[in-house]
Amino acid sequence: MYRTHTCGDLRLADKTRTVTLAGWVQTIRKFGSITFVDLRDRYGITQLLFSENLNSNLEADPLGREFVIQATGNVYERSNKNPNLATGDIEIGITEFRILNRSMTPPFTIQDDTDGGDDIRMKYRYLDLRRHAVKKNLELRYAVNRSARNYLHQHDFIDIETPFLIKSTPEGARDFVVPSRMNPGQFYALPQSPQTFKQLLMVSGYDRYYQVVKCFRDEDLRADRQPEFTQLDCEMSFIEQEDILNMFEGLIKHIFKEVKGINYTDTVQRMTWEEAMWQYGNDKPDIRFNMRLCNLKKPGTVFVDRTDHYALINDAGFAVFDDAETVVAMAVPGCSEYTRKQTDELTEWVKRPQVGMKGLVYIKCNNDGTFKSSVDKFYPEVKLRAISAAAGAVPGDLVVILAGAEERTRKAISDLRMYMAERLGLRRPDEFKLLWVLDFPLFEYDEEGNRWVARHHPFTAPKPEHIEVMIGNDPVIRDSEKYLEHPYAGIKANAYDMVLNGNEVGGGSIRIHQKDLQEKMFAALGMDKEEQEHKFGFLLGAFEYGAPPHGGIAYGFDRLCAILGGSEIIRDFIAFPKNNSGRDVMLNAPSEIDGIQYEELQIKLDLKR
Ligand code: ASP
């Protein structure tokens, strides 16, 4: 037997017991002829005391950090207790020990505040995983996984595995492809998600499906994306959107409760995509704080005209506002006393190429009730007061205003909103706020191809009242400048996203289950009959054999875990992640393959560098 207890087990009540522990040497401290060793395993750390009589053994064959040892001894009460350690009241007086394996000195310290940088820790991930900080993330991940499974099981969902070697699934990214040796010149694609399979399972009658499943997308990795990631993927039959929203609110509340001990009793807020864009400039707004947008220009066709503050900036001769498509203001709480240097900094921030604004206008709503702005020349105090009031500002706030082209300006103010909230400590990692964003546009305009693409995926059903618009209009966009005026721009989908603290943690839709509507959809995306048959013949075929009404959702499991862990860095919640260039630096993958492998695949490499 290697051990009687783990390094996290022993307490004062175990005093005088003879125990054997096994684990890794965390630290060694020598005081004269006695030596203290902190022994670590997955469960904790226990202090071992090697007294004088073991001194010669230690001198002959010294221990080192990360050696694996087995040690036997008696449990003693510590005179110098460590309240920060669960086992801090006791130590083990060692009578016998043996080295089970040696270790080189690790390239970084195996501690929460390690001295190792990202790269070195990725290279030695197996050592990094020994750190408590990483281990607790993986434990949380497991807890979320277990909790989700429990809930889904209680609600009659069944976990069904779907294949990885498949044909392309369009989720808007590039596929990873795998050559087939048995079918020379042909390739499998790795699934971007199990989307079509879960729909086929609905056709087969498995009316509640789920899977915790790897998905693969060959995207340029923006910050915090992984080429392979995990989804909690779900699908249900005989449901409407409302059923899905209820079921999956239930799921997330169950996870909150079981994993975080949070009783989330608030009603989950709902907002249409239009509202989200209009009020926050973003389709996944963080609603833990207010800072809503005040639109000072009449909206283009996408938005319903909701508030009317459009007269406030008129007739002032300020060309920046007059000529802009969009002008949006936002009250930033408590920042009226920003110095010139600080407002300049904000201006520089929005002028960075990633944000792309030409400048920033501000109004200081002073505590004494006066107003001071960067556009005093154009706007008298009474106007500044009116604009500030429209933006919901109170004395002490700083109103910031951006002006420019619609999409860019809305994105910029949304970025600025998040940036300021972060600066002001309004994005607290221990506060959780859920939101459903509903009624997304069905189509998105692809500028490069001058065509429509599916915003969610091509299997998403349009709102019933928009089906006629889809069928009755030619999808061709004649004037690309005016794509927003095309009837397709206004078609809404029965699609929903679950947003948690400003992150999209889940997304799904009610699906098309009628063959003719699915064909219309494919046609709207520019696929002729032949291409439809070639790519999706199996699905169209299945829809001819009694497809039930169905819909579903998939959670980004890594991200959900990260947020529940109070972080937004998904890599820290994945045992073996890839770096930002999609490399596994530990395996050194991807890498070249052997010549023989090319031969077997009958492939000749001819890189166009
Ligand atoms: N398959 C979709 C996705 O990966 C989710 C869904 O529609 O259920 O985004």
CB of 330 closer than 8 Å to CB of 291? yes
465 and 385 in a common domain: no
CB of 497 closer than 8 Å to CB of 506? yes
177 and 143 in a common domain: yes
- Separation CA 6–CA 319 (nearest Å): 72
3-state secondary structure 189-253: ECCCCCHHHHHHHHHCCCCEEEEEEEEECECCCCCCCCCEEEEEEEEEECCCHHHHHHHHHHHHH
Whether 465 is in a domain gets the answer: yes
Whether 72 is in a domain gets the answer: yes
Whether 43 is in a domain gets the answer: yes
Q: Which two tokens stand for residue 273?
A: 């995509």
The residue-averaged pLDDT of 507-518 equals 97
- Separation CA 388–CA 322 (nearest Å): 18
Query: Average pLDDT of the chain?
Result: 95
Give the pLDDT band (50/70/90) at residue 168. Answer: confident
The number of angstroms, rounded, from the C-alpha of 95 to the middle of its chain's C-alpha atoms is 50
The residue-averaged pLDDT of 521-536 equals 94
The greatest distance separating any two alpha carbons of the chain, rounded to the nearest whole angstrom, comes to: 93
pLDDT in tens, 546-567: 999 999 999 999 999 999 999 9
Whether 305 is in a domain gets the answer: yes
pLDDT in tens, 54-104: 999 999 999 999 999 999 999 999 999 999 999 999 999 999 999 999 999
- Residue 526 backbone zone (phi > 0: left; psi -120 to 50: alpha; other: beta): left
Whether 413 is in a domain gets the answer: yes
Q: Of 10, 84, 81, 16, which is closest to residue 41 (Cα–Cα)?
A: 10
User: Cα of 214 to ligand 1 centre, how many Å?
Assistant: 13
175 and 299 in a common domain: no
Q: Which two tokens stand for residue 259?
A: 């994993």
CB of 212 closer than 8 Å to CB of 145? yes
Q: Is 76 helix (H, G, I), strand (E, B) or coil?
A: strand
Listed residues 506, 524, 547: the one ending a domain:
547
Residue 170, pLDDT > 70, answer no
What's phi and psi for 21, nearest 5 deg?
-115, 155
Give the pLDDT band (50/70/90) at residue 314. Answer: confident
* pLDDT recorded at residue 341: 97
Which atom from ligand 1 is nearest to the alpha carbon of 194?
Answer: 1
* pLDDT recorded at residue 111: 92
Sequence-ordered list of residues with C-beta below 8 angstroms from that of 571, at least 6 positions apart, any chain: 224, 226, 577
Residue 301, pLDDT > 70, answer no
User: Cα of 191 to ligand 1 centre, how many Å?
Assistant: 11
User: Cα of 160 to ligand 1 centre, how many Å?
Assistant: 16
- Residue 321 backbone zone (phi > 0: left; psi -120 to 50: alpha; other: beta): alpha
518 and 535 in a common domain: yes
Determine how β-strand 293-295 pairs with β-strand 326-332.
Answer: antiparallel
Give the pLDDT band (50/70/90) at residue 173. Answer: confident
581 and 532 in a common domain: no
Enclosing domain of residue 87: 12-101
User: Cα of 507 to ligand 1 centre, how many Å?
Assistant: 6
**Which amino acid makes up residue 34?**
I
Residue 598, pLDDT > 80, answer yes
403 and 299 in a common domain: yes
pLDDT in tens, 432-449: 999 999 999 999 999 898
Q: Of 209, 177, 201, 210, which is closest to residue 191 (Cα–Cα)?
A: 177
Q: Of 71, 74, 40, 76, which is closest to residue 58 (Cα–Cα)?
A: 71
CB of 196 closer than 8 Å to CB of 249? no
208 and 175 in a common domain: yes
Q: Which residue has the higher pLDDT, 288 or 482?
A: 288
Residue found by looking up tokens 């991200």 in the block = 559
* pLDDT recorded at residue 2: 97
CATH number of the CATH domain containing 233:
3.30.930.10
* pLDDT recorded at residue 480: 84
The residue-averaged pLDDT of 340-359 equals 96
In angstroms, the first-to-last Cα distance of the chain is 58
Whether 115 is in a domain gets the answer: no
User: Cα of 168 to ligand 1 centre, how many Å?
Assistant: 14
Which atom from ligand 1 is nearest to the alpha carbon of 215?
Answer: 4
Residue 240, pLDDT > 70, answer yes
- Separation CA 533–CA 167 (nearest Å): 13
Burial of 447 per CB tally in 10 Å (0-12, 13-18, 19+): exposed
- Separation CA 214–CA 224 (nearest Å): 16
* Ligand 1 shell residues, CB under 6 Å: 171, 193, 195, 507-509, 552-554
Which atom from ligand 1 is nearest to the alpha carbon of 460?
Answer: 7
CB of 402 closer than 8 Å to CB of 293? no
Whether 117 is in a domain gets the answer: no
From atom 8 of ligand 1, which residue's Cα is the shortest distance away?
Answer: 553
Residue 169, pLDDT > 80, answer no
According to DSSP, residue 430 is labeled T
User: Cα of 193 to ligand 1 centre, how many Å?
Assistant: 7
Q: Of 441, 443, 504, 440, which is closest to residue 285 (Cα–Cα)?
A: 504
- Separation CA 226–CA 405 (nearest Å): 32
CATH number of the CATH domain containing 403:
3.30.1360.30
CB of 523 closer than 8 Å to CB of 475? yes
562 and 541 in a common domain: no
* pLDDT recorded at residue 224: 80
- Separation CA 129–CA 121 (nearest Å): 9
From atom 7 of ligand 1, which residue's Cα is the shortest distance away?
Answer: 508
Give the pLDDT band (50/70/90) at residue 311. Answer: confident
User: Cα of 1 to ligand 1 centre, how many Å?
Assistant: 48
* pLDDT recorded at residue 553: 98
* pLDDT recorded at residue 223: 67
pLDDT in tens, 176-230: 999 999 999 999 999 999 999 999 999 999 999 999 999 999 988 776 889 999 9
The residue-averaged pLDDT of 8-20 equals 97
Residue 139, pLDDT > 70, answer yes
**Which amino acid makes up residue 181?**
R
CB of 577 closer than 8 Å to CB of 552? no
How many domains, in total, are found in the chain?
A: 4
Q: Of 291, 264, 276, 566, which is closest to residue 426 (Cα–Cα)?
A: 291
Q: What percent of the chain has pLDDT over 90?
A: 89
From atom 6 of ligand 1, which residue's Cα is the shortest distance away?
Answer: 508
Give the pLDDT band (50/70/90) at residue 157. Answer: very high
Which atom from ligand 1 is nearest to the alpha carbon of 553?
Answer: 8
Whether 86 is in a domain gets the answer: yes
310 and 416 in a common domain: yes
